[in-house]
Amino acid sequence: MLRPASPLRHLPNLISALRMVLVVPIVWALLDRRIELAIGLFLVAGVSDAVDGFLAKQFGWASRLGGILDALADKFLLVSTFFCLWWLGVFPGWLVLWVLARDVLIVGGGIVYNLRIGPFVPEPSPVSKLNTFLQIVLVALGVVHLGIAPVADWLLQVLMGAVVLTVFFSGAGYVREWTRRAAVRQRAREGAAHGE
């Protein structure tokens, strides 16, 4: 007889959802220039990200919903912080739009693919993971520059350039993968229609 699933299996999803809620006080702290508080909240968000990932893998509590919530929490936090740092004059507006455009492309493309082709769960490529890492580093340095100590302009410029390049290549990679999978499904449908 199968044992009932533990209610704790939903814990990673709950942690991801709470991390989304944490975006609000982080934005408030940044806009109010309470940098120490913002950094503390960032650390809490980072620890929660590590904890929900550990729980999901260690106990087999991973789920499609959990993967979506985890990705959304990370995106909300990064994009909101980019907007705050633009508003406070640390980052240029074009950089925020560039970062946002990639996320809109991924979310929009994923929705269209799911509606017209079939279920698709994006698997981050190495360049996509690199892009996320570079965004995190850039945001962290932006917060430090805002309220703790000036960061060399050349370093910020280099990181901005690296983010732009990896945004382009990761976005193009998603489009290429969607196109490839759509073509495979189309060939399979045509083969089935012809009785192959």
Give pLDDT, residue 27.
93
Q: For 129-141, how does the pLDDT look when each residue is reduced to its tens digit (9 = 90+)? A: 888 889 988 998 9
Question: Of the candidates 144, 139, 132, 142, which has an alpha carbon nearest to the alpha carbon of residue 171?
Answer: 132
pLDDT (0 to 100) of residue 183? 75
The pTM for the full model equals 0.79
Round to whole Å and give the CA distance between 192 and 91: 53
Rg of the Cα trace of the chain? 20
Contact 49/66 with Cβ under 8 angstroms? no
Return the residue matching tokens 């492309």.
105
CA angle 186, 187, 190 (to 5 degrees): 85
Q: How many whole angstroms from its chain centre is CA 179?
A: 22
pLDDT at 6: 63
CA distance 92 to 138: 13
**111-123: average pLDDT:** 68
Higher pLDDT, 45 or 57: 45
Give residue limits of the domains in the chain.
Answer: 1-77, 89-196
Residues 6+ apart with CB under 8 A from 9: 59, 61, 63
